[in-house]
């Protein structure tokens, strides 16, 4: 090496191709594109199989209606998984807030008290899990497993059996159908889509959202960059808990009742939807819009199976296979990006 | 500055001047990293003071140090591979509009900083999709995008190739011309002499001195790092070149591992101790690993007792009687939670396979004989190894390896971090193993030790074996001259400033 002058122009790279630029900017979107592709293939396959009876405004509208609660859970789960964590508690927290709301309404509490209590109850359990993870160094898996048992236990304390909801304001969420031709949407659907939109905004356009990604990318580096890692991680679990409370409200409206056995295993459905939607379980990479696609893939498979009149257990097998496929694809992506480092 | 019960750094002074590149030199464990961490607020100081531009400061977090104008680029690139380059540069101190990130201004700012450094990189691309050298430069871009007065670079060149190092140096000179003080830590002497104006030398946590690069010969620098002082400098005994053994047990020819070891030849005679001397980063450990199947070789031929072998795994090497003891015994060697007994018999059990158990009485008997032979204190077979002193841990590790009845033993810094008494014992042990017919490769950073223990000494520098000398007729100074590259001894001629 010889002495170099300071003003020597360097690094004269050849102009990268459009595709290369796109990939270097958006490489992590690939799994989400794959999920969209699978959704399209599912629609096309079902349409061909059912001879044009599948893609109807009614079916598509029902897809959102039937999976609104799962979509809300997946939104919260996306925050947690992006930080590199996991939240197993959401299914039972949803059951707890649902039965709590039904019981409160049955005891005569006003809606204006009941609904905030449900949402904050969910958020409180999420906060607890976040604190366990952040300040007590408990593995997210274990901390949220504790949250799972806590939520289910609390649900049984509130009531051992189903409680019917008669409150019109709650039932309105589900029964109101805003129609556009053959299409319709319910307030629950609007809530779920709003959750996705707000989450997408927060994750991509606020410092908080970018810190979520930073923590998932490398927590230590994020801390060295002066980001508020602890606060953001706790917030992610709190958001997930809040979403579980919201899902409890939606499910109560959907089924017209609170039931303490609701949502057993639903946390796994939410995780599956998030992963199928292209969010990496190691954190830092993924999109909430992808999680929405994941939920629709999940819902579509369910619909197809019920259309075909097949056993619902096929649902589990197909979702399991898809999950496996996606995790392998993600491993490949991670291996590729690690290879560059 | 002092740290806790273990004094890692003891009253070390460091002065950085604006517009100057300053190097911090010292061997492994000299306290360089600790000093950097203290300056940058990662760990607190027990005593001492820090002044930035004359004002006394105290940092308890890295963020506070950054606010005072001290930015650090760590050895491991501490950025976020999943975010864009613009975010990596701007995150944490971005401008916001009504709570929202101002992405456009963030990208604009990143583009300016990169252009400022003469780098043509797309700020929108994801960091992880870029090569390591670009990531390194982005880390520097982040460091200087704040108002930086002091830039600390900890081993910034360890993963860069020559062109990339040139690029980095150009950026460093650019920053220097703007009056930034740069602390450059590297174990590559060439680079230190090329870029640095001053050098502070640390040894075992003690401040040896501060020198101007153009007034410090390389050989003097190495002497100060290794603590071989008081020797006459100019007078260099020519080290006598040793003849290779006639009938080598191990013969390695043209061994290459990437660029870390390049066409090295090693011959090891029966019952011989071959010392390997070299500075950290010279390739001494990579060579040891290449000879024992831990690291795969890219080129070269290894013959064991005249038969060509391909050592593609440590297991394969062991089956041929070639055994390696890592320099990092806590990580790669002993199992601290397990007893002395289990640690000694671990290797034997592995060799026999999981299903053929060694009878318990036999195991005890065997372990006890080794504890006795090596003088492991306390002679308690059931004690967890982690509770023993460093020297005794090392002996347990040696016992495990010796229990395998190796033909060739490769010891990487077996005496590092153990007390003087144990050190001598281990040295004697190595000699007596050789007397019993085991061939030993003995790696050490301490030249005196290598000369005392070895029959011959191979000197490794920049991944090459530069000379193999006869240990008995070589002086420390003679060896030092080889380790430090005397042929370009005058630092002043090499540095460009």
* Residue contact A207–B170, C-beta within 8 A: no
Who contacts A33 (Cβ-Cβ below 8 Å, separation ≥6)? Answer: A278
Is there a contact between B34 and B9 (Cβ–Cβ < 8 Å)? yes
Is there a contact between B319 and B278 (Cβ–Cβ < 8 Å)? no
In this prediction, residue B219 carries a pLDDT of: 80
As averages over each run of 10 residues, the pLDDT of chain A (341 residues) reads 39 58 74 85 85 83 94 97 96 96 94 96 97 94 96 95 92 89 91 96 91 90 83 96 97 93 92 91 91 93 83 83 82 62 41
As averages over each run of 10 residues, the pLDDT of chain B (497 residues) reads 47 83 80 81 78 81 81 77 88 67 84 83 85 82 82 80 81 88 85 90 83 85 72 50 81 87 89 88 86 88 88 86 80 78 81 72 85 81 82 84 86 78 81 88 86 90 87 83 62 34
* Residue contact A340–B130, C-beta within 8 A: yes
In this prediction, residue B77 carries a pLDDT of: 63
CA nearest B186: which of B153, B155, B152, B159? B155
* Residue contact B101–A211, C-beta within 8 A: no
Q: Side-chain half-sphere of B265: how many Cα atoms within 13 Å?
A: 8
* Residue contact B170–A24, C-beta within 8 A: no
CA dist., res. A316 & res. A298, Å (int): 10
CA nearest B64: which of B78, B77, B76, B52? B52
Q: Which of B120, B129, B162 sits opposite A11 (nearest CB)?
A: B120
Say if strands B307-309 and B299-304 run parallel, antiparallel, or are unpaired: antiparallel
Report pLDDT digits (tens) over A65-93: 999 999 999 999 999 999 999 999 999 99
> For chain A, first and last CA: distance in Å?
25
* Residue contact B170–A6, C-beta within 8 A: yes
Backbone angles phi, psi at B302, to 5 degrees: -115, 125
Is there a contact between A213 and B127 (Cβ–Cβ < 8 Å)? no
* Residue contact B124–A25, C-beta within 8 A: yes
Q: What is the ipTM of this complex?
A: 0.79
Chain B residue with minimum CA distance to A280: B82
Who contacts A123 (Cβ-Cβ below 8 Å, separation ≥6)? Answer: A238, A239, A241, A242, A245
Upstream peptide bond of B378 is cis (omega within 30 degrees of 0)? yes
Q: How many CB pairs under 8 A join A and B?
A: 121
* Residue contact A205–B101, C-beta within 8 A: yes
Please give, rounded to a whole number of angstroms, the shortest distance from the CA of B70 to a CA of chain A: 13
Say if strands B55-57 and B250-257 run parallel, antiparallel, or are unpaired: unpaired
* Residue contact B81–A341, C-beta within 8 A: yes
Chain A residue with minimum CA distance to B73: A224
Name every chain B residue with its beta carbon within 8 A of the beta carbon of A28: 82, 126
Optimal mutation site among A225, A281, A339, interface B, most CBs of chain B within 10 A = A225
DSSP string, A271-314: HHHHHHTT--TTSS---HHHHHHHHHHHHHHHHHHHHHT--THH
* Residue contact A4–B170, C-beta within 8 A: yes
DSSP B128: G
Q: Please work out, in degrees rounded to the nearest 5, the angle formed at the alpha carbon of residue B213 by the alpha carbons of B209 and B218.
A: 85
CA dist., res. A139 & res. A159, Å (int): 31
Optimal mutation site among B41, B76, B83, interface A, most CBs of chain A within 10 A = B83
CA dist., res. A286 & res. A250, Å (int): 25
Both structure tokens of B326 = 């890592």
The alpha carbon of B118 is separated from its chain's Cα centroid by a whole number of angstroms, namely 32
Who contacts B382 (Cβ-Cβ below 8 Å, separation ≥6)? Answer: B339, B340, B341
Average per-residue pLDDT in chain A? Answer: 87
Both structure tokens of A134 = 């952040």
CA nearest A27: which of B123, B136, B121, B130? B130
Is there a contact between A258 and A101 (Cβ–Cβ < 8 Å)? yes
* Residue contact A341–B74, C-beta within 8 A: no
Chain A residue with minimum CA distance to B104: A205
CA dist., res. B462 & res. B445, Å (int): 15
Is there a contact between A143 and A241 (Cβ–Cβ < 8 Å)? no
DSSP-assigned beta bridge partners for residue B456: B274, B470
Name every chain B residue with its beta carbon within 8 A of the beta carbon of A2: 496
In this prediction, residue A334 carries a pLDDT of: 65
Element (H, E) at B71: strand B70-73
Q: Which of B80, B124, B173 sits opposite A222 (nearest CB)?
A: B80
In this prediction, residue B261 carries a pLDDT of: 87
Q: Which of A8, A285, A341 sits opposite B132 (nearest CB)?
A: A341
DSSP B333: I
Element (H, E) at A183: strand A183-185
* Residue contact A340–B129, C-beta within 8 A: yes
CA nearest B167: which of B195, B187, B144, B146? B195
Distances (CA, A) of B179 to A162, B19, B174, B176, B224: 73, 4, 9, 5, 29
In this prediction, residue B233 carries a pLDDT of: 41
CA dist., res. A15 & res. B110, Å (int): 19
Please give, rounded to a whole number of angstroms, the shortest distance from the CA of A212 to a CA of chain B: 11
Q: Where are the alpha helices (DSSP H) in B207-306?
A: 218-226, 284-291
Name every chain B residue with its beta carbon within 8 A of the beta carbon of A4: 166, 169-170, 173
CA dist., res. B136 & res. B281, Å (int): 20
Chain A residue with minimum CA distance to B175: A6
* The three-state (H, E, C) secondary structure of B25-84, written as one string: ECCCCCCHHHHHHHHCCCCCCCCCCEEECCEEECCCCHHHHHHCCEEEECCCCCCCCCCE
* Residue contact B194–A1, C-beta within 8 A: yes
Chain A residue with minimum CA distance to B85: A25
For chain B, how many residues are written? 497
Distances (CA, A) of A283 to A37, A83, A209, A278, B88: 23, 5, 13, 11, 17
The alpha carbon of A274 is separated from its chain's Cα centroid by a whole number of angstroms, namely 5
Who contacts B109 (Cβ-Cβ below 8 Å, separation ≥6)? Answer: B86, B89, B90, B145
* Residue contact B126–A25, C-beta within 8 A: yes
Q: Side-chain half-sphere of A311: how many Cα atoms within 13 Å?
A: 5
Both structure tokens of B458 = 């191979």
Name every chain A residue with its beta carbon within 8 A of the beta carbon of B129: 23-24, 27, 337, 340
* Residue contact A340–B79, C-beta within 8 A: no
Strand, coil or helix: B461:
strand
- Other CB atoms closer than 10 Å to residue B147's CB: what's the count? 10
């Amino acid at each position: 090496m010889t002495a170099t002058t300071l003003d020597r122009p360097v690094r004269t790279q050849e102009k990268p191709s459009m595709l290369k630029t796109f990939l270097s900017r958006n490489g992590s979107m690939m799994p989400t594109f794959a999920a969209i592709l699978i959704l399209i293939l599912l629609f096309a396959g079902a349409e061909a199989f059912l001879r044009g009876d599948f893609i109807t405004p009614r079916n598509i509208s029902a897809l959102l209606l039937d999976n609104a609660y799962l979509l809300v859970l997946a939104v919260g789960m996306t925050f947690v998984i992006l930080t590199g964590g996991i939240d197993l508690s959401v299914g039972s927290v949803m059951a707890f807030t649902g039965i709590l709301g039904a019981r409160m309404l049955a005891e005569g509490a006003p809606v204006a008290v009941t609904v905030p209590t449900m949402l904050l109850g969910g958020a409180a359990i999420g906060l607890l899990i976040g604190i366990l993870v952040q300040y007590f160094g408990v593995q997210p898996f274990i901390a949220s497993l504790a949250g799972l048992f806590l939520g289910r236990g609390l649900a049984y304390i509130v009531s051992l059996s189903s409680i019917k909801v008669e409150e019109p304001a709650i039932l309105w969420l589900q029964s109101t159908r805003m129609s556009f031709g053959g299409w319709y949407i319910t307030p629950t659907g609007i809530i779920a889509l709003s959750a996705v939109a707000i989450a997408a905004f927060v994750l991509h356009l606020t410092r908080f959202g970018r810190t979520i990604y930073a923590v998932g990318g490398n927590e230590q580096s994020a801390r060295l960059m002066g980001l508020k890692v602890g606060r953001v991680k706790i917030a992610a679990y709190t958001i997930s808990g809040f979403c579980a409370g919201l899902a409890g409200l939606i499910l109560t409206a959907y089924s017209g009742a609170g039931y303490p056995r609701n949502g057993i295993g639903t946390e796994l459905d939410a995780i599956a939807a998030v992963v199928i939607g292209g969010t990496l379980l190691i954190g830092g990479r993924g999109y909430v819009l992808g999680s929405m696609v994941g939920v629709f893939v999940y819902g579509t498979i369910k619909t197809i199976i019920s259309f075909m009149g097949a056993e619902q257990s096929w649902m589990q097998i197909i979702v399991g296979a898809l999950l496996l496929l996606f995790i392998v694809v993600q491993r490949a992506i991670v291996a590729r990006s690690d290879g560059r480092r | 500055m002092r740290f806790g019960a273990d004094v890692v750094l003891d009253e070390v002074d460091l002065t950085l001047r604006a517009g100057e590149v300053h190097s911090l030199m010292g061997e492994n464990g000299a306290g360089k990293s600790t000093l950097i961490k203290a300056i940058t607020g990662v760990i607190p100081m027990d005593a001492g003071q820090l002044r930035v531009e004359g004002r006394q400061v105290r940092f308890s977090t890295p963020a506070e140090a950054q606010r005072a104008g001290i930015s650090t680029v760590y050895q491991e690139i501490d950025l976020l591979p999943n975010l864009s380059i613009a975010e990596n540069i701007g995150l944490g101190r971005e401008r916001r509009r009504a709570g929202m990130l101002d992405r456009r201004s963030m990208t604009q700012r990143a583009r300016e900083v990169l252009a400022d450094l003469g780098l043509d990189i797309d700020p929108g691309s994801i960091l992880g999709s870029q090569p390591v050298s670009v990531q390194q430069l982005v880390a520097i871009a982040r460091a200087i995008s704040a108002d930086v007065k002091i830039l600390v670079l900890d081993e910034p060149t360890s993963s860069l190739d020559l062109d990339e190092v040139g690029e980095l140096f150009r950026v460093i000179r650019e920053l220097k011309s703007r009056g930034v003080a740069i602390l450059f830590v590297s174990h590559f002497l060439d680079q230190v002499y090329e870029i640095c104006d001053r050098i502070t030398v640390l040894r075992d946590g003690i401040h040896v001195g501060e020198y101007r690069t153009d007034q410090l010969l390389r050989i003097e620098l190495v002497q100060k790092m290794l603590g071989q002082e008081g020797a006459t400098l100019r007078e260099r005994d020519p080290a006598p070149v040793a003849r290779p053994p006639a009938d080598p047990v191990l013969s390695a020819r043209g061994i290459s591992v990437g660029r870390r070891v390049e066409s090295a030849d090693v011959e090891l005679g029966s019952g011989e101790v071959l010392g390997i001397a070299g500075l950290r980063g010279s390739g001494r450990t990579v060579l040891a690993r290449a000879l024992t199947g831990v690291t795969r070789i890219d080129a070269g031929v290894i013959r064991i007792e005249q038969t060509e072998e391909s050592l593609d795994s440590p297991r394969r090497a062991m089956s041929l009687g070639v055994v390696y003891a890592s320099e990092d015994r806590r990580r790669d060697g002993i199992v601290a939670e397990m007893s002395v007994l289990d640690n000694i018999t671990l290797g034997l059990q592995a060799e026999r396979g999981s299903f053929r158990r060694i009878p318990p009485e036999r195991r005890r008997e065997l372990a006890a004989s080794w504890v006795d032979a090596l003088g492991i204190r306390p002679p308690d077979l059931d004690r967890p190894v982690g509770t023993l002193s460093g020297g005794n841990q090392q002996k347990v590790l040696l016992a495990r390896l010796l229990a395998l009845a190796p033909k060739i033993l490769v010891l990487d810094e077996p005496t590092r971090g153990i007390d003087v008494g144990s050190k001598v014992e281990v040295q004697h042990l190595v000699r007596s193993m050789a007397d019993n017919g085991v061939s030993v490769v003995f790696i050490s950073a301490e030249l005196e030790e290598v000369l005392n223990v070895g029959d011959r000494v191979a000197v490794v520098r920049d991944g090459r074996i530069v000379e193999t000398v006869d240990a008995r007729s070589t002086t420390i100074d003679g060896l030092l001259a080889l380790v430090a590259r005397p042929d370009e001894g005058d630092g002043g001629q090499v540095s460009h400033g």
